[in-house]
Amino acid sequence: MDQPRATSAEEFITIGRVLGPQGRRGEVVIESHSDAPERFKAGMKVSALAENGSRRGLVIEQLWPHKGHLVLKFAGIDSISDAEMLSSCELQVKRSDRAPLESGWSYVSDLIGCTAFDADQEIGTVVDVRFGAGEAPLLIVHSGEKELEIPYAQAYLQSVDVGRRQVNMRLPEGMLDLDAPLSEEEKREQNKSSS
């Protein structure tokens, strides 16, 4: 399933991130936010959003897999220095241009704003999705005063109902306690051992 994340109220979604130059002719290696890498194609138009907020249109000339990532060659990006300027850029497409999904699949960007449940118990609201921390993206869930990181892994996922704004999971016992703040007793024990 595609795993882009929304960037704001704008009509763009992130489908990948440039990790850095790869080669001498302007190629870049990217982290795909899609588990369907065939969605990237020669001739595809993308928008590169830099960390400073500037945006630049690009067209993919060539692409190939490389060590679990994709290498892209963009038209007009022909040197290492050109490629370096794209480092850390988010590669985006307009929401209306994203690829259609098979029945039963959903975009991770559509999960932002959904309520997450563990079995039938409400956990909180999905506020973001983070990539690159492991095999599965992390749903960032606000639960009261806490921010929880929950792997969006097939093994834990029961169902997604974007229309009803719900993500239903069955998490291993104790997973939600991993991010829990220390109790006063745990803080005292921690202070004893460090002194």
Residue 92 to residue 112: CA distance in whole angstroms: 17
Q: What is the DSSP letter of 113?
A: T
Query: In the predicted model, what is the mean pLDDT of residues 127-145?
Result: 80
Predicted local confidence at residue 92, as pLDDT: 87
Which pairs with CB-CB distance under 8 Å and at least 24 residues apart come from 124-129? Answer: 124/148, 126/167, 128/5, 129/3, 129/5
The pLDDT tens digits for 87-99 are 999 998 887 776 6
Residue 100 binned pLDDT confidence (cut-offs 50, 70, 90): low
C-alpha pair distances (Å), 160 with each of 104, 141, 157: 8, 15, 8
Which residue blocks in the chain are alpha helix, DSSP H? Answer: 80-84, 184-194
Q: What is the DSSP letter of 96?
A: G
Predicted local confidence at residue 58, as pLDDT: 96
Is pTM beyond 0.75 here? no
Question: pLDDT higher for 31 or 72?
Answer: 72
Which residue from 160, 114, 162, 111 is spatially nearest to 137, judged by alpha carbons?
A: 111
Residue 60 binned pLDDT confidence (cut-offs 50, 70, 90): very high
Predicted local confidence at residue 187, as pLDDT: 55
Predicted local confidence at residue 177, as pLDDT: 75
Predicted local confidence at residue 6, as pLDDT: 42
C-alpha pair distances (Å), 132 with each of 3, 59, 67, 186: 12, 25, 14, 31
- 3-state SS class at 43: coil
Going along the chain from its start, the domains and CATH numbers come out as 5-96 (2.40.30.60), 108-177 (2.30.30.240)
User: What percent of the chain lies above the pLDDT cut of 90?
Assistant: 35
Predicted local confidence at residue 161, as pLDDT: 85
